Copies of this chain bind each other. A is one copy, B any other.
Amino acid sequence: SLLICFYSTDLLPAKNGEEPTIQFLLEMVDILTTYVKKTFDRSTKVLDFHHPHQLLEGMEGFNLELSDQPESLEQILVDCRDTLKYGVRTGHPRFFNQLSSGLDIIGLAGEWLTSTANTNMFTYEIAPVFVLMEQLTLKKMREMIGWPNGEGDGIFSPGGAISNMYSVMIARYKYYPEVKTKGMSAAPRLVLFTSEHSHYSIKKAGAALGFGSENVILLSTDERGRVIPADLEAKIIDAKQKGYVPLFVNATAGSTVYGAFDPINEIADICEKYNLWLHVDGAWGGGLLMSRKHRHKLNGVERANSVTWNPHKMMGVPLQCSAILVREKGILAGCNSMCAGYLFQPDKQYDVNYDTGDKAIQCGRHVDIFKFWLMWKAKGTIGFEQHIDRCLDLSQYLYNKIKNREGYQMVFDGVPQHTNVCFWYIPPSLRDMPDGEERREKLHRVAPKIKAMMMESGTTMVGYQPQGKNVNFFRMVVSNLAATQSDIDFLIDEIERLGRDL
């Protein structure tokens, strides 16, 4: 290629840089489209695993070290090919490892445009179209939550953990606005409530924001991982008796491991009774609001004060795309604004209500909206609905396949509420062993061993973890439109192939 003799300094804005620039970008696109095609090709591996020390030592000329001197553009393209070669194909039909998976072509094109536009969400001035897209999309999301006329507030944030952190911040601001200026000493000893199955970000927010992780009180759940409302009420009463002031309850809509939906209406009744902020963490389950068939699982969500909803999980939007939605208008700005004169001048020629930056805890903010807006345009609401319904159908297929199958044991009974299917694979050597500590210890080691072999062979990936008293089990999730029943069959075959001699 001509690019052997070219360096980055030959690209635009260099004089005569147009030709090498276009050539370079098109060669890059060729690498990327080849990767896209392979991603959907089942004869390609999900990953080509290497240990950190192997990659650090350098794989066949792939050198990660940085240097004082530049590399040629040709070498840069080689580096890009290698980067993809040793990575993980998260869009592969047999990648089931994470809540976010899949490679949506429209979303991908949207991200390419976003990075080409390379702007910042803090003002209308430099992101007019994206700022309006964000407003319209947040309004649509609030309508789907069921808030009247889609009124309210919201912002896209860098992930569900930060969205959940926002919810705790604004709850505190609503009840104790003076904490913003005076600090936590201006408030009584506040406590937050969330399920023992909830995402760890609520606890992290408690630690970061100065509540303390011990003041995040964990609620008991039923055996399917749903909060027991009576336990919430008992713990509220107990906290009050001990002199604490309950502030905030998080209800999870789609828990990380079990995919459980907490009973929002019953929790909302208790929140109203005790005047507490109700947040719904729908990072994982929020997408079900798009489905007429499944949205009932979030019944009561319209009673929440705030909702986290990550389109980058169940709806297949590329990372990152997470929204925090708030019922009360203006409270995000009230909570976070510092009115920095150099960004948010009141004397601009346009309506500065469109400068949204001061609502955020960030200053600069990546454009996360465009890919999502573009996907919504391209699929329509009905396209997201089909995506959701299809993934849930596929999970039910898996559930039906293994619930009575020899060598499998479900972690909880009944049809899963979300796409999470949690199960143990019991190798033949353990099937006749009586329950007890020895069997538990052995079973605990089965999933990690199978997972390690899967990764070494690169054929598929699925998550595992312990939960409470339950030893390591597989947690299967489906959010990738590329997956079919044959891929589910493949996963089960693979587990049995790798696990039968353990």
Contact = CB atoms under 8 A, between A and B. Distances in A.
Interface string A315-345: 0001110100000000000001010111101
B181 A87 contact: no
Given A183-B210, A212-B179, A378-B73, A342 B33 contact: no
A4 interface: no
A465 B28 CA distance: 41
Interface string A365-390: 11100100111111111110000000
Contact of A105 (B12, B130, B162): B12
A115 B36 CA distance: 11
Contact of A129 (B75, B83, B118): B83
Contacts of A379: 8-9, 70
B113 A66 contact: no
Given A13-B93, A120-B319, A364 B100 contact: yes
B118 A318 contact: yes
A342 B7 contact: no
A203 B339 CA distance: 11
A218 interface: no
A64 B113 contact: no
Interface in A116-166: 116-120, 124-130, 132-133, 136-137, 140, 158-162, 165
A214 interface: yes
Contacts of A230: none
A36 B377 CA distance: 24
A482 B76 contact: no
Contact of A71 (B165, B312, B377): B377
Given A127-B88, A158-B362, A363-B159, A377 B76 contact: yes
A486 interface: no
A32 interface: yes
A127 B361 contact: no
Nearest to A21: B105
A84 interface: yes
A208 interface: yes
B68 A97 contact: no
A304 interface: no
User: Residue among A256, A351, A361 with the most chain B CB within 10 A?
Assistant: A361
Contact of A120 (B100, B128, B361, B456): B100
B9 A180 contact: no
Interface in A22-74: 22, 24-26, 28-29, 31-33, 35-37, 40, 49-53, 55-56, 64-71, 73
Given A32-B116, A80-B113, A125 B199 contact: no
Contacts of A397: none
A168 B163 CA distance: 20
Contacts of A29: 25-26, 29, 112
Contact of A380 (B22, B67, B347): B67
A229 B8 CA distance: 43
A242 interface: no
Contact of A128 (B80, B87, B257): B87
A201 interface: yes
Interface string A442-468: 000100100110011000010111110
A304 B51 CA distance: 34
A210 B181 contact: no
A181 B212 contact: yes
Interface stretch (A184-192, A219-227, A401-409, A430-438): A184-192
A11 to B, nearest CB: 4
A13 B482 contact: yes
Most buried by B among A183, A350, A466: A183
A217 interface: no
B128 A88 contact: yes
A378 to B, nearest CB: 4
A98 interface: yes
Contact of A70 (B126, B158, B383, B461): B383
A99 B131 CA distance: 19
26 contacts: A8-B375, A8-B378, A12-B36, A21-B36, A25-B32, A28-B109, A52-B132, A53-B351, A64-B132, A68-B381, A79-B377, A80-B374, A100-B120, A118-B318, A158-B365, A159-B366, A160-B363, A180-B213, A183-B184, A184-B210, A199-B340, A207-B336, A208-B209, A322-B364, A345-B465, A345-B472
